[in-house]
């Protein structure tokens, strides 16, 4: 047994990545580009999120929520239990983003009131991700869109501590490993495999943008994924690899970028070298 999990309050106080403004804004650009493609709002004169109510669940210091507001959201919301992060966010962006201190399992919004939800690399940090997903489903509009950045348990390098195979281990062994590395006193995060994530999203209709973003980084503001000549070569390899071979690699892709909806609908954006594919959920 690993250490008992409790809510990660004040996460931005001990995870410096949440305060890396440039990196957070790059992530936001990728999120907005994926939403633009799915909604069929690429290249238009109107802002991507014009007229929509948008909420970033797990917003911390608010950089992504601020970018969602900049993308034209009629109402932009940031939700977290990270009080120091919310305080920083409100001081900087409070004039155009509403920041709310609330647990993801009890969102203070009416049923069906949010057009776009963003849940980006958060699920592994919450005590009960299934309950958070259920609550987001409740507040999402019937024609709404949920963007998900999801770490994969079978990604070889664990993203928080940069240790190989850390997320593969049972909690007690993971605690010993991360402690022996000197990087933390215990391993808090809990990742799921692709199959586990599919089950977590049972009842949603899901489209996978992981490979499209990797294969078309310029289109999805993901150029940092492929730096330099080696990166461009990798991008070209992806574009030429048969679809069946790419599908075979999906179980070990380190991060999934998924778009989920409550009703059956598909991406409205233009043709891509590697287009998004539906994810079969239970």
pLDDT digits (tens, 9 = 90+) for 221-245: 866 555 555 555 666 666 677 777 7
Decide if 27 is inside a domain: yes
Decide if 175 is inside a domain: no
Decide if 81 is inside a domain: yes
Output the pTM of the full model.
0.92
pLDDT level of residue 167 (50, 70, 90 thresholds): very high
The stretch 196-218 carries a mean pLDDT of 92
Number of structural domains, the chain? 1
Strands across the sheet containing 255-261: 98-101, 75-80, 53-57, 114-120, 140-151, 255-261, 205-208, 277-279
The answer to whether residue 11 scores a pLDDT higher than 70 is: no
pLDDT digits (tens, 9 = 90+) for 172-197: 999 999 999 999 899 999 999 999 99
Pick from 30, 98, 38: nearest CA to 66: 98
Decide if 92 is inside a domain: yes
Query: Which pLDDT value is given to residue 219?
Result: 87
Quote the distance between the C-alpha of residue 213 and its chain's center: 13
Pairing of strands 75-80, 53-57: parallel
Decide if 32 is inside a domain: yes
In whole angstroms, what is the distance from residue 280 CA to residue 127 CA?
25
Range of the domain at 257: 11-153+191-271
CB-neighbour burial class of residue 63 (10 A; exposed 0-12, middle 13-18, buried 19+): buried
The CATH number assigned to the domain holding 98 equals 3.40.50.150
Decide if 280 is inside a domain: no
In whole angstroms, what is the distance from residue 33 CA to residue 216 CA?
11
Decide if 183 is inside a domain: no
Decide if 277 is inside a domain: no
């Amino acid at each position: 047994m690993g250490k008992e999990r409790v809510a990660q309050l004040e996460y931005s106080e001990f995870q410096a990545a949440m305060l890396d403004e440039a990196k957070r804004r790059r992530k936001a650009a990728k999120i907005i580009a994926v939403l633009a493609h799915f909604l069929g709002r690429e290249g238009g004169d109107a802002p991507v999120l014009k007229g929509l109510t948008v909420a970033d669940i797990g917003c911390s210091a608010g950089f992504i929520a601020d970018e969602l507001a900049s993308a034209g959201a009629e109402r932009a919301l940031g939700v977290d239990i990270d009080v120091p992060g919310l305080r920083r966010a409100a001081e900087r962006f409070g004039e155009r983003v509403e920041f709310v201190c609330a647990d993801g399992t009890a969102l203070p919004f009416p049923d069906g009131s949010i057009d776009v939800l963003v849940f980006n690399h958060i699920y592994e940090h919450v005590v009960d991700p299934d309950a958070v997903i259920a609550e987001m489903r409740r507040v999402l509009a019937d024609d709404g869109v949920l963007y998900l950045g999801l770490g994969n348990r079978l990604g070889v390098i664990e993203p928080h501590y940069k240790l190989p195979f850390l997320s593969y281990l049972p909690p007690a062994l993971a605690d010993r490993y991360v402690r022996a590395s000197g990087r933390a006193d215990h391993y808090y995060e809990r990742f799921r495999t692709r199959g586990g994530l599919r089950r977590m999203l049972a009842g949603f209709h899901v489209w996978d943008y992981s490979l499209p973003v990797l294969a078309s980084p310029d289109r999805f503001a993901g150029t940092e994924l492929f730096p330099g000549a080696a990166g461009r070569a990798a991008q070209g390899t992806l574009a030429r690899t048969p679809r069946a071979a790419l599908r075979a690699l999906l179980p070990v892709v380190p991060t999934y970028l998924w778009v989920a909806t409550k009703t059956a609908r598909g991406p409205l954006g233009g043709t891509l070298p590697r287009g998004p594919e539906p994810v079969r959920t239970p």
